[in-house]
Structures are given as C-alpha cells and as structure tokens.
Homo-oligomer: A and B are copies of this chain.
Amino acid sequence: MKILNIVPITSDIWTDEIDAYTTSKLLPDTIVTTKILTHGPASIECEYDEAYAIPEVIRLCVEGEKEGFDAVFINCFGDPGVRAAREMVSVPVFGGFEPAILYSLGMSDKVGIVTVLPNVVPMLEGLIAKNGLNSRVTSLRYVSMPVLDLFDLNKLIDALIEESKKAVDLDGAGAIVLGCTGMVGVKEAVEKGLADAGKPVPVIEAAQAALVLIETYVRMGWKHSRKTYMAPPAKKRVWWSGDAVEEF
C-alpha cells in the first residue's frame, strides 16, 4: 500500500535516518512517500503555526488521494487539518495525536504526554477535551525544547526521562506518549531510562504509532464516518496558487 507522509512544515528536516526509523515497523509492501509544504511555518509550535500549515496540508491530502495514495499521515502531534481533510477525502487520514493516544489507552488506565513547549499545552488540552479523554490522559508535561532543536538527542532523552518520571510519580501515568512527532529515535532510550529508575512504563513514539494505525485501517478497509465528516458543500472558494488566484 502507499501512504502519503505529509510533514506539515516548510523545513526540510526529513532525513534518511528519520525516514528509516519512522517506517521501520511497517510491512514490506508499505511504501511511505514524504512531502513537505511550500507555504507554511518552519515548525508547528502554536495554533498560529497550525493555521498557516493547514491549507496546504489539506491540498496535499486531496492531491494524494487523486494520485492513488491509500491513506495519509499528517506528521504532527497536533493533528493539524485532520478533521478538515477527512471531510474532503475518503482514504484514512490521521495525525500523530489520535493514534498514539488510542494505542496507549490499551496499555494503561492513565496516560501522560510529554511535549515540546508550554505554547502547545492549551492546544493539546483542547484535543484531549474534544476527544472526551480527560479522565484517561492525566498528565501533560513539556521538555522546553523547540521542535527544531530536537536533534540534540542526548538533551532530549534526559529531559524526556525527567518529565516522564514526574508524569508517573505525580500524575499517575502508566504509559508515556511522546508528544511531538519530531521526537524521533529516542523512545527506546527513554523507556530504558525509566526502567532503570524503577518505572518500567511503555513509551509510545507517535509517528510510528500513527503509521501502523493507518496501515491497519487500509488493511481492514476501515474509513472515517461520513456522519462525523460530511463532504463540504459546493461553493466558490478563492485561494492563491503559485502566482495566480485560484477558484475551487
């Protein structure tokens, strides 16, 4: 199957290492194609950033379905554009939040998220509330590192272990979700660090979780409900497109 991986930012941070890590758990015949944005923010760290990422994200989803992709991953933990895109396409569309959280609920009664910056906390609290999961996702902490600094893996791992310990000890979390899809390649070390500290709880990496959920949806033939995600009414819409104004 073919999955479109939309990295919803204009920074070209998708290296071969990241690609290999993120797709390492997928089936042999699952092909993941990555696209980044031409217009939008360098990274997503607030609702403002999301707002400028979403339009092109949706266009890539629509294009992707036409190009024959079986499903789309919007590679960001804030699920930017997920609901709007589902209105427009029939193939499965997921961001990073929903899959990681759903899988984590099968592991533990209470789950903690450790994300990047305080700026995204209200956004994620909003997602948790909208998903009706306030009694299950009981911890929301952050490492105080911007998205584009996450390449400093040692610093990231230490901070994740530190905050995860608090999530376990102070907030009752029994599983930790890494709350940014840019936290790549660190899950194993965080899990080990927690186990070494006497807190052997599972740690879920969101992009891997999302891709395997998407793969499952395609294998099972599952689609999102058209009762929740109705197709948008036809109407005139005006947009910039390259140099020209486009109507769609």
Contact = CB atoms under 8 A, between A and B. Distances in A.
A25 interface: yes
Interface of A: 10, 25, 27, 37-43, 45-52, 54-55, 58, 81, 83-85, 87-88, 94, 98-99, 102-103, 105-110, 117-119, 122-123, 125-126, 129-136, 146, 148, 168, 173-175, 199-202, 204, 208-209, 212-213, 216-217, 219-220, 222-230, 232-233, 235-243, 245
Nearest to A175: B225
Given A94-B106, A227-B108, A238-B10, A84 B50 contact: yes
A229 B200 CA distance: 11
A102 B88 CA distance: 24
A70 B119 CA distance: 25
B227 A199 contact: yes
A156 to B, nearest CB: 17
A213 B212 CA distance: 10
A122 to B, nearest CB: 5
Q: How many copies does the complex hold?
A: 6
Nearest to A26: B219
B135 A134 contact: yes
B227 A168 contact: yes
Given A48-B85, A117-B233, A129-B135, 14 more contacts: A25-B219, A39-B239, A40-B239, A42-B235, A49-B237, A51-B54, A52-B55, A52-B237, A52-B239, A83-B122, A103-B216, A107-B225, A201-B225, A201-B226
B225 A174 contact: yes
Most B C-beta atoms less than 10 A away, residue of A199, A227, A235, A243:
A227
A132 B131 contact: no
B119 A220 contact: no
A223 B113 CA distance: 18
B45 A55 contact: no
Given A103-B102, A122-B229, A233-B46, A132 B130 contact: no
14 contacts: A25-B219, A25-B220, A37-B238, A46-B230, A83-B123, A102-B105, A103-B222, A106-B224, A107-B228, A109-B122, A109-B126, A130-B130, A174-B227, A202-B225
